[in-house]
Every structure is written in C-alpha cells, then in structure tokens.
Amino acid sequence: MPAPRVNFRGRGPRCLVSTHLVDSVQVSQVPANTHRETFRPLADFPPDIWGDYFMSLSFNNSELKSSSKQVEALKEKVKGMLKDCIDQVEKIMLINDLCRLGLSYHFEDEIQELLSYHFHSMSKLIDDEDLDLHTVATIFQVFRLHGYPMHHDVFNKFTDDEGEFKEELASDVKGLIRLYEASQFRINGEKILDEALVFTTKHLQSSLAKQSTDESPNETLLNFAKLDFNRVQCLYQQELGTLSSWSKEMNIASRLPYARNRMVEIFFWAVGFYFEPRYASARNIFAKLLIILGFIDDTYDAYGTFEELECFTHAIQRWDICALDQLPEDYLKILYGAVLNVYDEVDRMESNNGRCYSMSFTKDELKKIVVSYLMEAKWTKEGYMPTFDEYLEIALHSSAAVLVIAQVLVGMEEADANVFEWLRTGESKISYRYKSHSSSLRRHRDQRGRGKERTGCLWNKCYMKQYGVSKEEAIQDSGEDLGLHGMS
C-alpha cells in the first residue's frame, strides 16, 4: 500500500535544525525548460485590510513637540520622586508602578542603580518587617523582572509547618494576584513557586466574581503615562507610514498575489519585541526582513512546485544577482530580486554603523531555512511520511526561530558581535527552547482547499508511525518526552 501523500508545509511552528542538514540535501539547478508540475497548493489567504491607510494619516508636529516637552518635564519630576523617596519598600513599589504604566524605559539607569543598591538588604528587610503577601510578591517580581535572583524563600513566612500556603491567604485576592504573577518568574527546582502557582490558580478561579484592583498611582504618574502613551502611538503611526511607503515602492505584494501581505501585523510584532521609541530603526529593519521572510515562506508553502523551489533554493545558496536569470518563473525572479535588494539595503545600513557581522549571520540562517523548506517539499512530492525524529529535526529548523531572533537583534546597537557569535555557536540553547515551544503549539485546523495538515497533526502522525501508538498516546507521550506539560 503506498504511503499517504502528506504536505508538510503547514502553517505550524518552525525551528532550528543542526547545520549538517544543509549539506545532506542535494540542491541541483533545474533548467528553465524542464517539465514541471502544474498543481499549486494555493491558499485562500484573506486580503490585507489596511491598504494605504497609514500613508494617508496626517500628523500635527507641533502637538507632538508639545507633548514631548511635557513628557520631559514629568520625567524630571519622577526622577526627583525616585531620588527623594527614603523608604526602601515604597521605592520598590514606585518602580513597580513605573513598570506597569509602561514608563520604566525612561528610567532604566536610575532603576538599575536603585535595585543594585537595595538588593542584598531587601531579603533581610522582608524577614524582619511585617509585610503582607501583596507587598512581598511585588518586591520579588520587580527584582526578578530586572534580572536580580531574589531567593524564593521570601515566601516561607506565608506557609505552614507542612510547607503549604496558609489557607487564610485565600481571601486576600490582591495578594493572590501578585503571588500568581510572581510565580511566573520561577525557575526549575523552585518548589514553593510551583505550589504558589497551583494555590493561586485554585483560589483565583473560585474568586472570579470578586473585584480586586490596586490603588491607583498618583496623579503625576497617571498624567505622565497618558501623555507618553499618546506620544508613542503617534511615533508608531509615523513609522508605519514610512514602512507603508517603502512597501508600496517595492511593489512586491501586488506582483506576488498568492502570498500574504501582512506589513502592519508584522510591525505590531516588532513593537512587541521592543516598544521603546529609541528602537525605531530596529523595528523598521526587523519588519522589512520579516516581510521578505513571509513572502519566501508562502512561496514554499502555498505556490511553488518542487522543481521551482529547488531552483530558488539553489539561487539563495549562491546569493548572486547573476542567478536571477536562471530562475524558471517570473514570480521567482521577482521574489529573488526583492530578497537581495532588502538584505543589501539593511546590510549597507549596518555596515555603515560598523555592524556588518549582523547581516552576515542573518543571511547564513536564511540559507539554512530554505534548505529545510525544500526538504519538507521533497517529502510532500514523494508522499513520504518521516519518522518523528526525522520530522523533529527538520521542523526545529524550518520554524525560523534563530533567524527571527537574529532579525530582532540586527538593528539593536547593544547586540554586538559577541551576541551573534553566541547565536552561532548554539550556546544559547535556543534550539531546545523552540523545540519545546513547537510541541506546545499543536493545532488541528483544516486547511480548506489546500490538502494541507497542520504541523501539530503531522507531529503526532510522525510520532505514531515511529512508536506505533495511538493518536491520544502520541499527544501525551511527545509532550512528556520534551517535558512540556503545563506549558502554555
């Protein structure tokens, strides 16, 4: 009985695979006149809803300057508040307010100086003072958030002789919420924080009807937060206008109608990585690189035939404009030209800033990723169902995890050559982390009209094939093998 024909280019997560796979896939150039399949796995992607909206927005520069001036004045006032506050606990609670209002980026140096100064004395203060759960959990969270390894034993005072959290805490909704948040900063082996998560989840779920809100920060902080929020939103809109103009001038979306045009959504993703205004250039670079990766991804996933993709993969390995004329289809030439242009544009920007190493690494990662995409296309063409181990190795690479992280770092001045070498050597264990994340994202949605299956479903089918287990056992066992249960 022939093996089932399965397409492995679903929209599921993709990650890093070991470098030797690049050499294991033989990429050969296919002449333009070679017969190719006519079937294309077309996707019915919804259209872009934004159009030229952000290009048509008008901005009141005088209003922006006025709000920026007010922000600077309030910034100095808050610096005074940080400096004048004598009580250690009140100072940490003020830092917490700044973090929650999205204002802490204005005071990074001041916050680090204060936390560094108070860190070693804070645990003793917590032991000596009669601080409630809400306060202790907030202090713990602030220090851990900023990279300080505050010990979990600060919560021992809230447990009984058996080490269980005291039941009387169940009515302290504010404290439970803070403890729940603090438990998210736990590391392996911190049993008391594991128990804190269970304890708070149980009691908060039974207290959903109760309302609990923190006391509002003072009016200075609230006014500061409102002004800064509106100012930053205006800056984002200007950035989107610039990016929209670039996208329209590049004109790739209209020439590759089979692919998704998700410029605005990608920009939102960039804001999620770094929202601070000083990273405007980094956001612009990341968005451009990810837009191009999206077109590449959809080309392998939702349009190209195997023979065409083989040619394109070969051209990416060459990274030479001369390879463009050897591509068999116009759409591939359009995409290949766009890839080279965008990468060269960013490369010139980074080289002028003495950071040529960032794009060198990013380019190498892109070459590896398209090879993994081609392997998945090869499996689909041959109707081959890989073993779980075979599929995992490819899927770890094709998620583009390391590439996306590299793209995030390209425009960040703080990310020097050592950071990219850290990525290159794999000491960061990103591969493992994204392997875990991939497993937690199992999805089973129908790809209507494409004959495709989600990566999660394929993950389980490959596991079922290799270990001869049921679907339910595959879902359970693959999660346990990777230590993923409880992840979200």
- Look up residue 78 and give its two tokens: 């808050």
Name the nearest CA neighbour of 54 among 231, 247, 273, 270.
Answer: 247
Cα angle at 400 between 349 and 390, to 5 degrees?
Answer: 150
Other Cβ atoms closer than 10 A to 60? 10
Q: Which DSSP string corresponds to 321-352?
A: GGGGGG-SSHHHHHHHHHHHHHHHHHHHHHHH
Amino acid at 430: I
The C-alpha atoms of residue 483 and residue 481 are separated, in whole angstroms, by 6
Residue 1 has a pLDDT of: 41
Domain architecture of the chain: domains with CATH: 62-206 (1.50.10.130), 251-479 (1.10.600.10)
* Cβ contact 332:308 at 8 Å: yes
| Backbone region of residue 451 per phi and psi (left: phi > 0; alpha: psi in -120 to 50; beta: other values) | left
Per-residue pLDDT of the chain (488 residues; tens, 9 = 90+): 433 333 444 433 333 333 333 344 444 433 344 444 457 877 788 888 998 899 988 888 898 999 999 999 999 999 999 999 999 999 999 999 999 999 999 999 999 999 999 999 998 999 888 999 999 999 999 999 999 999 999 999 999 999 999 999 999 999 999 999 999 999 999 999 999 999 999 999 887 656 666 666 689 999 999 999 999 999 999 999 999 999 999 999 999 999 999 999 999 999 999 999 999 999 999 999 999 999 999 999 889 999 999 999 999 999 999 999 999 999 999 999 999 999 999 999 999 989 999 999 999 999 999 999 999 999 888 988 888 888 878 877 788 888 999 999 999 999 999 999 888 887 445 555 544 444 433 333 333 334 344 345 666 788 888 888 888 887 776 554 444 333 33
The pTM of the whole model exceeds 0.85? no
Q: What is the pLDDT of residue 394?
A: 82
Residue 365: Cβ-neighbour burial (10 angstroms; 0-12, 13-18, 19+)? buried
Distance, in Å, from the CA atom of 87 to the CA atom of 68, rounded to the nearest integer, reads: 31
426: alpha, beta or left? (left if phi > 0; alpha if psi -120 to 50) = left
Q: Print the SS3 string covering 57-93.
A: CCCCHHHHHHHHHHHHHHHHHHHHHHHHCCCHHHHHH
pLDDT value for 4: 37
Q: What span, in angstroms and rounded, lies between the C-alpha atoms of 217 and 222?
A: 7
Q: How many CA atoms lie within 13 A of 70 on its CB side?
A: 17
What pLDDT sits at residue 93? 96
The pLDDT score that the predictor gives to residue 5 is: 35
Is 214 exposed, middle or buried, given 0-12, 13-18 or 19+ CB atoms closer than 10 A? middle
Distance CA 262, CA 291 (A): 7
Q: CA 430, CA 16: separation in Å to the nearest integer? A: 8
Radius of gyration of the chain (CA): 26
The pLDDT value recorded for residue 210 is 60
Q: What are phi and psi of 205, to 5 degrees?
A: -65, -30
Please report the pLDDT score of residue 395 as a whole number.
Answer: 77
The C-alpha atoms of residue 391 and residue 464 are separated, in whole angstroms, by 12
Amino acid in position 364: D
For residues 341 and 30, give the distance between their C-alpha atoms in angstroms, rounded to a whole number: 24
- Cα→Cα distances 97→52, 62, 73, Å: 38, 30, 18
> What pLDDT does 38 receive?
57
**CA torsion, points 20, 25, 28, 34, in degrees to nearest 10?**
-160
Pinpoint the alpha helices (H) of 25-172: 61-84, 88-100, 108-128, 133-145
